[in-house]
Amino acid sequence: MPKRLPVGIPQSVEEITADWLTHVVRSSGLVTTAQVLDFEVGSPGSGVGFTGQTLRVGLTWDVVEDDAPAAVLVKFPSQNVGNRGLAEAEGGYDREFDFYERLAHLVPIRVPRLIHAIRDPGPSTASRKRRERLVDGLPEAVVRFIGRHARKLIRASHRRYALVLEYVPDARITTAQALPPAEDLAEILHTLARLHAHFWRDPLLADPAVLEWSMVSQMPNVMNGLYRAWRDEVVVRRPDLFTERFMDHADWFSDNIERLAAHLDEPLALRHGDSRTDNMLFTDAGLVLIDFGVSGSGRPAGDVAYLLSESIPPGPDARETFLVACGDYHAHLLGTGVDDHPLDAFLVDCEVVLALQAYRAVLIEATYEADYEGESLAELWAPRIAALLAEEPPEI
């Protein structure tokens, strides 16, 4: 395993110092001689993170320099070792570093400026992939055992990560508990269409030196082992959420996971990957996309149906609202010049993603320790997903 870098990298509020903050801002070129005298740590005022710590750090400088930021955003890994281990298994921290270091300057949508990024070395891509193939190819009984005990067996590394980004002030968000107004949802969909079209079938997306992470899972058989190990217990625990029709879709994805994952991973577009409304900042200058911890390449429905599955209120009109919104996105995608992604194929992809969301809801209920003010993620999202599902899983 590569050794740690021979420098200090804070991993908690307690380890942040004025000297470190001075160093990281100077490294970006925003200041030259100014020094941080004091700082104040608070909440960023945006979404809830389950795999990382995100802090707003207000800065007091000894002298005034024009570009000295009044505050920065500092991101560390989660201190919940179970959540962190699961995130690292899917490249959760490296993905965001890779995005900011390799792609952020190419994106046509505003994203926070990268001020400083530092992480301990990880295993080489080749050795990581060999390990993933080995583990993913284990017998089903072993994989199911791993799934049953994933929080203990998939251990967090000792690597250190620190990402320092521009803090975007005076931004408005819609939290995951709330539901976005129609005009906000439309703006997000149109922004995603611009993002997807900008990189449409770009050879960069298939270059493993740029994007080396799969969108659905690095190890689909291990993920499915987790699903199968916990499925029945989750249904018994919450039959009100995991109904027969809901589980028909989740089980369909489970039964076909390898081919469906490969289908959704086809590198048609750059995907945000976690397109929840609380990862979208509304400002006077336009929409700002944040949190790229699961970014990668894939089919655009992965962003669109993901967003809609968490943004449309349950009810008798939910399914129709979903289809209209999908059509609105697709029309804007065509308006950017994309002419080789027919609406019917896109809608089938959206149905696949809804089944994936049902499948993920089971995994979340089984393994993640996360909630919104006492309400579990499954309680929050499963009814919204259920309201959008077709009577039967799609044919593909």
In the prediction, which pLDDT does 233 show? 95
Residues in contact with 128: Cβ distance below 8 Å, sequence separation at least 6, in sequence order = 122
In the prediction, which pLDDT does 328 show? 98
In the prediction, which pLDDT does 43 show? 80
Residue-by-residue pLDDT tens, the chain, 396 positions: 568 899 999 999 999 999 999 999 999 999 999 999 999 998 875 444 567 789 999 999 999 999 999 999 999 998 888 788 888 888 889 999 999 999 999 999 999 999 999 999 998 888 989 988 998 999 989 988 988 887 777 788 899 999 999 999 999 988 878 899 999 999 999 999 999 999 999 999 999 888 888 888 889 999 999 999 999 999 999 999 999 999 999 999 999 999 999 999 999 999 999 999 999 999 999 999 999 999 999 999 999 999 999 999 999 999 999 999 999 999 999 999 999 999 999 999 999 999 999 999 999 898 876 555 666 788 889 999 999 999 999 988
Q: Which amino acid is at 305?
A: A
In the prediction, which pLDDT does 156 show? 86
Provide the whole-model pTM. Answer: 0.92
Q: Give me the residue label for tokens 């389950």.
A: 50
Closest CA to 163 of 112, 90, 91, 211: 112
pLDDT in tens, 111-146: 999 999 999 999 888 898 998 899 899 998 998 898
The Cα 207–Cα 199 span in angstroms is 13
Sign of the dihedral through C-alpha 170, 176, 181, 182? positive
pLDDT in tens, 184-210: 999 999 999 999 999 999 999 999 888
The Cα 264–Cα 302 span in angstroms is 7
The Cα 73–Cα 338 span in angstroms is 35
- List, in sequence order, every residue forming a beta bridge with 164; answer none if it has no partner: 74, 116
Q: How many helices (H) and strands (E) does the chain have?
A: 14, 11
Q: If you ran DSSP here, which 8-state letter would residue 342 be given?
A: -
- For the chain, how are helix, strand and coil distributed in percent, rounded to 5? 45, 15, 40
Q: E strands of the chain, at which residues?
A: 36-42, 52-61, 71-77, 114-119, 161-166, 269-271, 280-283, 286-289, 296-298, 371-372, 375-376
The Cα 22–Cα 31 span in angstroms is 9
How far lies 268's CA from each of 196, 321, 365, 385, in Å? 8, 25, 31, 25
The Cα 50–Cα 18 span in angstroms is 27
In the prediction, which pLDDT does 149 show? 85
**181 is written with which tokens?**
């107004």
